[in-house]
Amino acid sequence: MLRNRKKRIRDKLLSEFGDLKVDSFDFEYIESYFRKKDHFTAFHTLSDKTCNDLDFQELFMFLDRTNSKVGQQYLYNKLRNIPLDSTENIRYEKLLDEFTNNSDFRVSVQSQLTKLNEREVYYIASLFQDEILKPPKWYFIVPLLSFASLLSFIMAFFQPIFFLVVLGLSIINIVIHFWNKKNLYNYFSSIPQLSKLNSVAQELFKNDILKEINPNLMKSANIINKINNRMSFFNLEVEIQSDQRILFWAMLELVKILFLIEPLFLFGTLKSIDTKRTEIEDVFLFVGEIDAIVSIASLRKGLKNFCTPKIIEGLKELIAKEVYHPLIENCVKNNLKVNNKSILLTGSNMSGKTSFIRTIGINVITGLTINTCFAEHFSMSRMRIFSAIRISDNLMNDRSYYFEEVITIKEMLDKSNDGDLNLFLLDEIFKGTNTVERISAGKAVLSSLTKENNIVFVSTHDIELADLLRNEYDLYHFSEIVDHKTVDFDYKLKEGKLKNRNAIRILQINDYPESIINEAIEITKELDKNYCG
């Protein structure tokens, strides 16, 4: 039976390698490790604004092929933090090759990792990130009551009067026991899983190639092993409750009440855990990193095209060949070269401008974090990423769309002078205001943003901006083909600014009244004279 079960697991892991994960994603728990972690050592941490602009949750669901909840939390945190250098990614490649080419090794690792795929595993990080529950000031009476109960119970066999003492103490102990129940349940999810995590980590450490991730892991694992006896109490509790062994549970509960075993074990265990936060995180990171590498190997296996990026430190340069958006099915691939200038995109709605800007942003993120780009070739400098793509009215704070946009872009201007290389992604700058001021303010802001070590990708409908910025920005456009009754988009990036206007033509093929079409054409001619004049 056990052999058949192992074979089924092996066959499942082999067949699903490279496939999308079929699972639900609870981002409240997935993000929890990232939210509480200090990121001061990262080169850059992606903001919630940028993540929203780039559809980060959808991207994560596509990228995530982890086998454990620990690995899932680790991968999420990794994707939102751009590291200071590429040393870690270079080290990954050796393991990635091993996981890709050695299926027996990979499946043995995955089999261990799947032991940590229960929902309760999400709570492990709270043991080293959250403040541990401290006993109340009156807690000193608990060991005294426990000792008094034990002594009275023994003495009762010699002097029956002590049974009354035991009864009296039991009434007090019942109150304390059930007061402690809530505290105990708060840790029922995390502490049993910690023991399991430590066991999995020690099994994985037996592989010589995995030892390189943290050669000193066993120091941390052995320290955690020292509190395993205490943690086994929580494992027993979970097993009893899950198996519904009511009679045994009832007898054990009476013993625990009589001698106050639960509060003694709980606060004793928590005190030990509180002094071993570093060791617990070491083990967490070891397992998480291994699972993340397996996940990247599975991701690459499922891709038709990918490359590892070339990192060119300190240069205002970005080269993309056959780059595509991983979330767009049958996405049209494009080529682009940025060299000491920024990029201004023109084109009509739905032509592909915003999707292309997101394509660049996503590839920069995955290239710098998991050493994987969705392209034939992708080279870039290490850079921070800021965006202003999705902006909406903030009704709760009584802010208009334009005001929200002003605040977001002001933050970009502040970052642009920090000395680091930045990638700024903007869609339709200042579209919340009138044409003349939009073009004027847009030109001034975009000229400022592209100075120093900054690369800007911006889309606009304002052809005038292309003329004003032609010395600072390389101009590209997306266009469509308007037939007698259809509008077709090829989503191919083309050099130069958009020359053909099709908005009125699209109204025409959709049977707008001829009087409206004629008036619109005449007004366009008049406006062109004013702007060109």
pLDDT in tens, 312-332: 987 899 999 999 999 999 999
- Average pLDDT (399-426) is 87
Residue 339, φ and ψ in degrees, nearest 5 = -145, 95
Q: Report the relative pairing of strands 422-427 and 454-460 from DSSP bridges.
A: parallel
> Confidence band (pLDDT; 50, 70, 90) for 223?
very high
Tens digit of pLDDT for each residue in 482-511? 666 667 788 999 998 776 666 676 777 677
Distance CA 168, CA 348 (A): 83
428, 466 Cβ separation under 8 angstroms: no
Q: Give the per-residue pLDDT at 336.
A: 96
At 395 the pLDDT is: 45
Contact status, residue 438 vs residue 430, Cβ threshold 8 Å: yes
pLDDT average, residue stretch 233-238: 57
Tokens representing residue 469 in the block? 């910025």
Q: Greater confidence, 313 or 382?
A: 382
User: Is pLDDT above 90 for 302?
Assistant: yes
Question: Residue 206 CB: number of other CB atoms within 10 A?
Answer: 10
Using the predicted structure, report yes or no on whether residue 290 has a pLDDT greater than 80. Answer: yes
Tell me the HSE value of 465 on the side-chain side, using a 13 A CA sphere.
32
For residue 208, which of 113, 293, 281, 105 has the smallest C-alpha distance?
A: 105
| pLDDT higher than threshold 80 for residue 334 | yes
What's the rounded mean pLDDT across residues 520-532?
Answer: 66
β-bridge partners, 336: 320
Residue type, 221: A
Pick the closest to residue 72 from 108, 133, 124, 107 (CA basis): 124
More confident residue, 529 or 365: 365
The pLDDT value given to residue 431: 78
The residue whose two tokens read 């000491």 is 340
Q: List the domains of the chain with CATH numbers.
A: 1-30+64-302 (1.10.1420), 305-500 (3.40.50.300)
What share of the chain has pLDDT > 90, as a percent? Answer: 51
pTM of the predicted model over 0.75: yes
Predicted pLDDT at 226: 83
pLDDT bin (cut points 50, 70, 90) of residue 435 is confident
